[in-house]
Amino acid sequence: MKKIVSLIMLVVLTMALLVGCGGNQNAGGNATGEETYTWRFAHEEIDGDVQDLYVKKFKEVIEAKSDGRINIDIYPVGQIGDATQQAELLQNGGIEFAIVSPGNTGTLVPENQLFSLHFLFTDDMDKNAEIFKTSKALNELLSNKYLEKNIKVLAYWTEGAMQWTSNKPVNTPDQWRGMKMRTMPSPMIVAAYQAYGANPTPVPYMEVYSGLQLNMIEGQENPLFAIDQMKFYEVQKYLTLANSNLYVTTTAVNPDFFNGLPADIQDMVLETVEELRDYSFEIQEELNGGALDRIKAQSNIEIVELTDGEREVFRAASKSAYDKYVEMVGAGGKEILETLLEEVKEIESR
């Protein structure tokens, strides 16, 4: 029944978008006779968050680069459905572009759940940027898995390291036992926190604050900017600076739409994405960097920073989730994980 309702909602959203945009990505021609385009770009966050700033910059750059031939309409989360519905719209051609995060598409592309594994990447963002740009595991092996689901990944990037908020101390895995931890709807994120003994509870992003307030959930994970923007510190007692994993997301496009574009317009899209690689890291650093100070100034939440020893205990506990990942996704996912681990090790050693 739930799947039927979801399908009906998706059809309604798609029809509304097609009617609103004339059912055509092409708006016509300009004064010189060149073809013009109006594209829809959806993201998973609210105004002013990392994804929102990224998409606004994408709009600014490509509209300028195209001399007005391209116009981008931006849809924040909730405007045309939740993050999962936006990904489905992208697959089906209801929208052209979207920021698609693995945590919201883990059942769609199971292999992307490796991003939910803790302590997978380095603590050095410059090295992580190099990994996202050059990794064969991500840009070839994993991207092919997305393509099989009619999603073309243009870039992988991060919104920053994940931190924990909770109503009780969570310095050791023993303290997690039975805790109702909010997660995104990804089986692997669930497995990652089950490795610590928690009781993971998937909850939509826009319902997390009320869930914490009503004690339906006892904790959640997010980069600092999200904890600040969504004011989770108002309804939590502890903020633990865990740096347990990176919040990884993707810039994605519908492949049928992209392949139908003229070569020069395709190149314009790819150039814009490439130009935004550094910008994505700059905005996450800026927003996360100032967020902690704002949280301290606006609340009495207790700030806890894990020691190196405590992180090592969590690192050891997290390894059972790596085995669970391979069990979930099979040989293809195992190849992606092993290749990525080797790439991370090689770049980290430099």
For the stretch 301-328, pLDDT in tens is 999 999 999 999 999 999 999 999 999 9
pLDDT single digits (tens) 7-61? 444 544 555 454 444 344 555 566 556 889 999 999 999 899 899 999 999 999 9
Q: Cα–Cα–Cα angle for 325, 328, 331, nearest 5°?
A: 85
Do residues 41 and 96 touch, judged by C-beta distance below 8 A? Answer: yes
What integer is the mean pLDDT of 194-216?
95
**Percent of the chain topping pLDDT 70:** 91
Q: With the C-alpha atoms ordered 88, 35, 275, 228, is the resulting torsion angle positive or negative?
A: negative
The pLDDT value given to residue 81: 87
Q: What is d(CA 207, CA 210) in angstroms, rounded to the nearest whole number?
A: 6
Q: Give pLDDT, residue 104.
A: 82
Q: How confident is the model at residue 5 (pLDDT cuts 50, 70, 90)?
A: very low
Choice among 24-33, 162-171, 272-281 with the minimum mean pLDDT: 24-33
- One-letter amino acid for residue 284 of the chain: Q
Q: Where is 37: in which H helix or E strand?
A: strand 35-42
Residue 189: pLDDT band (50, 70, 90) is confident
Tell me the whole-structure pTM to 2 decimals. Answer: 0.84
Question: Average per-residue pLDDT in the chain?
Answer: 90
The tokens 């309702």 sit on which residue?
A: 5
Cβ contacts of 152 within 8 Å, gap of 6 or more: 143, 146, 252, 253, 254, 255, 258
pLDDT above 60 (res 297): yes
Say if CB 250 and CB 155 are below 8 A apart: yes
Q: If 0-12 CB within 10 Å is exposed, 13-18 middle and 19+ buried, where does residue 85 land? A: buried
Classified as helix, coil or strand, 124 is coil
Are the beta carbons of 175 and 169 closer than 8 angstroms?
A: yes
Backbone angles phi, psi at 248, to 5 degrees: -100, 140
Antiparallel, parallel or unpaired: β 180-183 and 219-222: parallel
Query: Would you place residue 77 in the very low, low, confident or very high pLDDT band (cuts 50, 70, 90)?
Result: confident
The CA distance from 199 to 193, in Å, is 7
Torsional sign, CA 288, 291, 293, 296: negative
